[in-house]
């Protein structure tokens, strides 16, 4: 197969939403339609045996939330789909932001009862920064929700993007009859079923009385009026406007009942972009280039608790990746070879010998790779735009079992390398503090340390306002600063010097008193 052909049949996208909008359920149903799984799992309760395929970590099954991005690949109608299901909870937004750098388009899930919520707005801002194409799926139509036109207006207003409905609901809640596909000109009738898939009925003319027979006279009359209004108010759908991030096509459905999902998937493979060019420190790289390049956007330890493995997720941006080839690790300026590379179906994996632009490959790694690293066939460029956040909440790690000190240290180091949080070790007394973006991350770290490493710890709140990485062009001045502020100096996991400021006012005073010291709010400087 040629490189052009492989690129043209790939679609790599992320699913984003506010928590509980039905994102992981939609992911499940897309996998069901793609034939990747035979039976959809439930996301909600730890009592249910068939958990969502994308929520495979133990804590996700217990809490019914996604705390890490899952990567799943499957084929649908001769298109290779790479799907990344992201955490919706704001405490794990950092993982989601990084994942959005690895996708070419996004499906945004909105709850028809609650409408646009705050986390959806934040995620949309990230999409806006990159003009990422967005498809909107309004979910839970089997519940009594808000008026569809009102929802569309809210999406336009709060998310600052024009919308164009491509399907339309016929009633809602208890009287929900189905959806009419404006794009395919077909009627899809609703039968509540969490395991079966419904076929659409082609309707060449919406005024045909066959519509009345299927949905009832009143619903048919309302549908015709709605469709007339949509065609009058909204301009015709323009694929170019969608691809440039100016217009979001909108679909309606009920993911838990497999309803409206197939229309979404069928349209998605027709209009969503194949792999797109990406910026590096040197130039714009196009997928069609013959030489391989890619970047690491996520690292995960212990995907298989039986084997202590560490997997780096590589997004391929150009050329062809071949297992066993020697590639340049740009940051370390050395060659690196991967004899084991895998494709994902959540935590199930299969070995891959080759992969193409748009694909996500898992590389077994012993600690050489970090989030943001670039691999190439020799060119010394680095892919840009992977965000790194300064922590906002700090707590000291207290070891609860002195016999498991080594396990605790190993576990902390591996979890920090995943980008879950940041670890700071004080120069004096070797006290360890963990910094996170959201408080729920402490619970996840504690749970995973216990479950995956057998290490028990507690977190004690610290009075820290900001962790500032420090540097100076004058080594003597830097040493003087370290000596005078020794109690507040720590090192991060990469051994970089960090000043732990206790308040905004104090930080400002220290900055004024030490003009030769540079204070950085991310570790990338």
> Which residue ranges make up each domain of the chain?
3-168+236-271, 278-376, 393-520
**Two structure tokens written together for 442:** 């402490």
DSSP code, position 200: P
pLDDT for position 347: 45
Lowest mean pLDDT among 180-184, 416-420, 424-428, 515-519: 416-420
Residues that constitute the known binding site: 17-24, 85-89, 139-142
Give 174: exposed, middle or buried? Use CB within 10 Å, 0-12, 13-18, 19+.
exposed
Mean pLDDT of the chain: 83
Q: How far is CA 14 from CA 67, 81, 435, 499, in A?
A: 15, 11, 27, 36
CATH tag for 278-376 (out of 3.30.360.10, 3.40.640.10, 3.40.50.300, 3.90.1150.10) = 3.40.50.300
Residues that constitute the known binding site for GTP: 17-24, 85-89, 139-142
Backbone angles phi, psi at 167, to 5 degrees: -140, 160
- Give the integer Cα–Cα distance in Å for 461 and 429: 17
Cα 327 from chain centre: 26
pLDDT digits (tens, 9 = 90+) for 458-517: 999 999 999 999 999 999 999 999 999 999 999 988 889 999 999 999 999 999 999 999
pLDDT digits (tens, 9 = 90+) for 15-70: 888 777 777 788 888 887 776 555 544 333 333 334 444 443 454 445 444 334 46
Which contacts (CB < 8 Å, 24+ apart) does range 306-313 have? 309/364, 310/364, 310/365, 310/366, 310/367, 310/414, 310/417, 311/342, 311/362, 311/363, 311/364, 311/365, 312/362, 312/363, 312/365, 312/369, 312/373, 313/71, 313/102, 313/360, 313/361, 313/362, 313/363
- Helix, strand, coil % in the chain, rounded to nearest 5: 30, 30, 40
pLDDT for position 304: 54
Q: How far is CA 458 from CA 12, 354, 391, 416, in A?
A: 39, 44, 19, 17
pLDDT digits (tens, 9 = 90+) for 189-243: 887 665 555 556 777 678 888 888 888 889 989 999 999 999 899 999 999 999 9
What is the dotted CATH code of the domain comprising 3-168+236-271? 3.40.50.300
Identify which has the larger pLDDT, 68 or 524.
524
Residue 440 pLDDT level (bands cut at 50, 70, 90): confident
Residue 352 pLDDT level (bands cut at 50, 70, 90): confident
Q: What is the mean pLDDT of residues 2-15?
A: 92
For the whole prediction, is pTM greater than 0.85?
no
Q: How far is CA 189 from CA 22, 148, 225, in A?
A: 21, 18, 19
Lowest mean pLDDT among 25-29, 69-73, 140-144: 69-73
The reply to whether 393-520 shares the fold of 3-168+236-271 is no
pLDDT for position 525: 53
pLDDT for position 91: 46
Q: Please give the torsion angle defined by the CA atoms of residues 22, 313, 339 and 35, in that order, rounded to the nearest 10 degrees.
A: 20
CATH tag for 393-520 (out of 3.40.50.720, 1.10.3720.10, 3.30.1120.130, 3.30.70.3280) = 3.30.70.3280
pLDDT for position 196: 53
């Amino acid at each position: 197969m040629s490189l052009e052909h492989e690129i043209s049949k790939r679609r790599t996208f992320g699913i984003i939403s506010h928590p509980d909008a039905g994102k992981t359920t939609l992911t499940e149903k897309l996998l069901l339609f793609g034939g990747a799984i035979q039976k959809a799992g439930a996301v909600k309760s730890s009592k249910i045996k068939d958990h969502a395929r994308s929520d495979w970590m133990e804590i996700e099954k217990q809490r019914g939330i996604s705390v890490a991005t899952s990567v799943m690949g499957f084929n649908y109608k001769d298109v290779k789909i790479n799907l990344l299901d992201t955490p919706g909870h704001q405490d794990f937004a950092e993982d989601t932001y990084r994942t959005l750098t690895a996708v070419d388009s996004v499906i945004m899930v909105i709850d028809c009862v609650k409408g646009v919520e705050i986390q959806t707005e934040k995620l949309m801002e990230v999409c806006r920064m990159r003009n990422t194409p967005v498809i909107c799926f309004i979910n839970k139509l089997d519940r009594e929700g808000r008026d569809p036109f009102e929802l569309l207006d809210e999406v336009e207003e709060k998310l600052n993007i024009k919308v164009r409905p491509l399907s339309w609901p016929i009633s809602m809640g208890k009287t929900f009859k189905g959806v009419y596909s404006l794009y395919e000109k077909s009627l899809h009738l609703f039968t509540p079923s969490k395991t079966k898939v419904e076929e659409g009925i082609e309707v060449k003319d919406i005024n045909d009385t066959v519509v009345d027979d299927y949905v009832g006279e009143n619903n048919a009359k309302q549908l015709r009026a709605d469709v007339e209004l949509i065609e009058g108010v909204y301009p015709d759908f323009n694929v170019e406007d969608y691809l440039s991030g100016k217009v979001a096509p909108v679909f309606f459905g009920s993911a838990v009942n497999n309803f409206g999902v197939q229309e979404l998937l069928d349209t998605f493979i027709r209009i969503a972009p194949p792999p797109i060019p990406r910026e590096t420190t040197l130039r714009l790289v196009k997928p069609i280039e013959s030489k391989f390049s890619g970047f690491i956007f996520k690292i995960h330890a212990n995907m298989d608790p039986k084997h202590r493995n560490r997997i780096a997720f590589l997004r391929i941006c150009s050329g062809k990746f071949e297992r066993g080839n020697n590639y340049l690790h740009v940051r370390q300026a050395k060659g690196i070879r991967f004899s084991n590379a895998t494709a994902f179906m959540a935590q199930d994996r299969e070995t891959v010998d080759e992969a193409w632009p748009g694909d996500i490959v898992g590389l077994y790694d012993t600690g050489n790779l970090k989030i943001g690293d670039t691999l190439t066939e020799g060119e010394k460029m680095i892919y840009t735009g992977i965000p790194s956040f300064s922590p906002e909440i700090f707590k000291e790690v207290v070891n609860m079992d002195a016999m498991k000190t080594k396990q605790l240290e190993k576990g902390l180091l591996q979890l920090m390398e995943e980008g879950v949080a940041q670890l700071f070790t004080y120069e004096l007394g070797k006290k360890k503090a963990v910094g996170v973006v959201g408080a729920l991350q402490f619970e996840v770290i504690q749970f995973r340390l216990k479950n995956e490493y057998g290490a028990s710890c507690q977190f004690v709140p610290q009075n820290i306002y900001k962790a500032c990485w420090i540097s100076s062009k004058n080594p003597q001045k830097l040493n003087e600063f370290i000596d005078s502020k020794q109690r507040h100096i720590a090192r991060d996991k990469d051994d970089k010097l960090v000043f732990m400021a206790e308040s905004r006012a104090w930080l400002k005073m220290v900055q004024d008193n030490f003009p030769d010291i540079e204070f950085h709010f991310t570790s990338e400087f």
